[in-house]
Amino acid sequence: MSVQAQGWSLIEYPEGLPTDASVRLESQTLPQPGPGQLLIRNLWLSVDPYMRGRMIPVKSYVPPFQLGQWMEGGAVGEVIASNHPDFQVGQTVLHMLGWRDLALSDGTGVTVVDPTLAPAQSYLGVLGLTGLTAWVGLNRIGQVKAGDTVFVSGAAGAVGTMVCQLAKRQGARVIGSVGSAEKAAYLKETLGVDAVLEYKQCDNLAAALAERAPEGISLYFDNVGGDHLEAALANMQEQGQLVICGMIDLYNSDGQRPGPRNLTEVIRRRLSIKGFIASDHMADYGAFVADVAPGLASGEIRAEETVVAGLDQAFNAFLGLFSGANTGKMLVKL
């Protein structure tokens, strides 16, 4: 017996910020699982800034979405039918067939997770690639240590909130950049961030950062790019490190926005700059969970989430990433 499913399709490659004209919520008939297949009812969907890069028809570290086909993204769901030997009905699984309510899979990239260890949606955020990104960037790339001064852009976002907490736990002094007074208060009062920069209120971002870090920045964790990267370069300590995770400020640009104008600081200050992608570090996943899960269970680490209800709101949730609508991980609950 077949089942009716709904999912989001990309119908045009957008220029600039995507609009409703770029996507469509469509219905599709799915068959019951054949040999080696399983059917998953999605419970939680992840929407992430990197998905904007998949809406551009160019080669990258992940392939672009194909026009007229359902888009993909992280999801957690329940197995509701299975003809696959490795998956049983009732199991909770993590997979990449998001942007839809039902997913038919051959098991590729599907992982059974334990919802008793942490809430199921945590595997999309604090215990998923989001958390791994923060952990790898700090520990494997930046090698953060006690006494460091760490500047985090996009500090109230999914990765940023984790970076702030993990850096503080390592004994670093943390400065976070955010876009609102509410987010600034959250970082200081809830996460214990040492100093906050409300970038929308700054006429000169580099000068504002210098006021908060007169000793300079030893490690910059970049989620934003653009003027934040330029400000960080102007305030780095000698031999400082810049860990480049994302550049959300540029994702919807027309390609005309200038990059940092002060790259000569890399030479003058003998800086190290390295970009990374968390999926290249899956061998570290076990060490990451062993380090973070106990802190999550004890309440030492908070899993901040912004939850939007309903598959029909998934695209609006995605757009909210670019207007600062989220604090922590942006999730869609089905």
Place of tokens 């003809």: 83
% of the chain surpassing 90 pLDDT: 84
Report the C-alpha gap between 123 and 215 in whole angstroms.
37
Report the C-alpha gap between 131 and 277 in whole angstroms.
12
Q: Residue 12 — very low, low, confident or very high, per pLDDT cuts 50/70/90?
A: very high
Structure tokens belonging to residue 285 = 């996943």
Query: Which one, of 326, 324, 281, 269, lies nearest residue 139 by Cα?
Result: 281
**Contacting residues for 149 by C-beta, under 8 A, at least 6 apart:** 172, 173, 175, 213, 215, 216, 217, 218, 219, 237
Q: Which helix (H) or strand (E) holds 130?
A: helix 129-136
Report the C-alpha gap between 168 and 85 in whole angstroms.
44
Query: Which one, of 70, 242, 248, lies nearest residue 157 by Cα?
Result: 248
Residue 239 near residue 216 (C-beta atoms within 8 A):
no
Cα 89 to the chain's mean position, in Å? Answer: 30
Report the C-alpha gap between 264 and 269 in whole angstroms.
9
Convert the pLDDT of each residue in 105-131 to its tens digit. Answer: 999 999 999 998 889 999 999 999 999
Place of tokens 């950049």: 177
Structure tokens belonging to residue 88 = 């049983």
Report the C-alpha gap between 112 and 295 in whole angstroms.
22
Report the C-alpha gap between 36 and 29 in whole angstroms.
19
Determine the pLDDT at residue 81: 97
Convert the pLDDT of each residue in 28-77 to its tens digit. Answer: 999 999 999 999 999 999 999 889 989 998 887 788 999 999 999 999 99
Convert the pLDDT of each residue in 249-306 to its tens digit. Answer: 766 665 566 679 999 999 999 999 999 999 899 899 989 989 998 999 899 999 989 9
What is the value of pTM for the model shown?
0.87
Determine the pLDDT at residue 257: 65
Place of tokens 């908060």: 212
Convert the pLDDT of each residue in 189-237 to its tens digit. Answer: 999 999 999 999 999 999 999 999 999 999 999 999 999 999 999 999 9
Alpha-carbon Rg for the chain, nearest whole angstrom, is 20
Q: Which helix (H) or strand (E) holds 40?
A: strand 38-46
**Burial classification of residue 13, based on how many CB atoms lie within 10 Å of its CB (0-12 exposed, 13-18 middle, 19 or more buried):** middle
Per-state percent for the chain, helix, strand, coil, to nearest 5 = 30, 30, 40
